[in-house]
Amino acid sequence: MNTMPLYDGYIFDLDGTLYLGEQLIEGADRTVATLRDRGARVMFVTNKPISSRQTYAAKLTELGIPADVEEVLTSPLALADYIAAHHQSPNVLLLGEKPVTEELEAVGCRIVHKAEDAEIVVISWDREVTWERLDEAFQALRGGARFYVTNPDVTCPVESGELSDAGAVVAYMQACSKRDPDHIAGKPYPALAEVAMQRMGVTPQRTLLAGDRLQTDLKCGKNAGCATAVVLTGVSTRADIEALPADEQPDYVLQSVVELV
């Protein structure tokens, strides 16, 4: 039985959708190859801001899904795109790691370290953050700098449990500055999917976003106006999906991405 239509563009979440940790989801490689053979464009997206696009492209390729760097979108890249569209070579005070620095510098941002120099504060996941740097970012926000965020995830799941992520630092900044972010690039916000569609040259009506998380992937797809598929190879169960209100249901529920073809 084949009831799935062919879309022009496919946006794939990574962990839980195409692979689990270091293990390819069985058949995901053939699925992506088949979609490409049929003329569809594909993009691979992730909120995670601590690895570079090169790293993800290499990992996918190694797992049997050949991926070009240009087919990988991370939340730092989506934020850099947004900044490039709204600012000219701004001074940015960043709490984040090297992959974020690289994406920001690639669009002309100058990374600064003092609050008074900052036009923009970018909050990301930074595993070496100190109170001094947290406070410098707070002072910049007090001074009126724009408040941008790569990804809103409060925690990141790992094999041993969870790690605190960028969203936890956002909560800290909200608490002391009494401000909310002006822009958040990562899922569930639509920017990642919008940048993906723009790069594929496809419309939301002709694009499907496939992911395993209801609160991030599914919402991102809906916010961007794409068709949505939730796969059951990651964190969400059929019961979780059935508990959603009618207007939040995905277009497709799939045992795995293999059912896309």
Measured CA to CA, the distance from residue 256 to residue 195 in angstroms comes to 25
Nearer to Mg ion, 52 or 236 (CB): 236
- The CB-nearest residue to Mg ion is 16
Of residues 18-47, which lie at the interface with Mg ion (CB under 5 A)?
A: none
Instruction: Give the DSSP H/E element, type plus range, for residue 43.
Output: strand 41-46
Q: Assess contact for 157 and 140: CB atoms under 8 A.
A: no
One DSSP character per residue, 158-198 reads ETTEEEE-HHHHHHHHHHHH----SEE-STTSSHHHHHHHH
Nearer to Mg ion, 16 or 99 (CB): 16
Per-residue binding letters, 194-233, with Mg ion (x by CB under 5 A): ------------------x---------------------
Per-residue binding letters, 231-260, with Mg ion (x by CB under 5 A): ---x--------------------------
Nearer to Mg ion, 73 or 122 (CB): 73
Stretch that binds Mg ion, among 8-16, 30-38, 65-73, 106-114 (CB under 5 A): 8-16
Nearest Cα neighbor of 92 from 122, 67, 72 is 122
By CB under 5 A, tell whether 13 contacts Mg ion.
yes
Nearer to Mg ion, 186 or 234 (CB): 234
By CB under 5 A, tell whether 15 contacts Mg ion.
yes
Minimum distance from residue 165 beta carbon to Mg ion (Å): 14
Minimum distance from residue 4 beta carbon to Mg ion (Å): 20
* Helix ranges (DSSP H) in the chain: 28-37, 53-62, 75-86, 98-106, 131-142, 166-177, 191-200, 219-224, 238-242
- Which of 9, 16, 76, 96 binds Mg ion (CB under 5 A)? It is 16
By CB under 5 A, tell whether 90 contacts Mg ion.
no
Minimum distance from residue 239 beta carbon to Mg ion (Å): 18
CB atoms within 10 A of CB 108: 13
Q: Which residue has the tokens 């002072």?
A: 139
**The pair of three-digit structure tokens given for residue 220, joined into one six-digit string:** 């991102």
Nearer to Mg ion, 48 or 146 (CB): 48
Instruction: Give the DSSP H/E element, type plus range, for residue 157.
Output: strand 155-158
Partner residues linked to 210 by β-bridges = 12, 229
Measured CA to CA, the distance from residue 180 to residue 149 in angstroms comes to 10
Nearer to Mg ion, 57 or 122 (CB): 57
Minimum distance from residue 235 beta carbon to Mg ion (Å): 7
Nearer to Mg ion, 139 or 151 (CB): 151
Minimum distance from residue 14 beta carbon to Mg ion (Å): 6
* Integer Rg of the chain from CA: 18
State the residues that interact with Mg ion by CB under 5 A.
13, 15-16, 212, 234
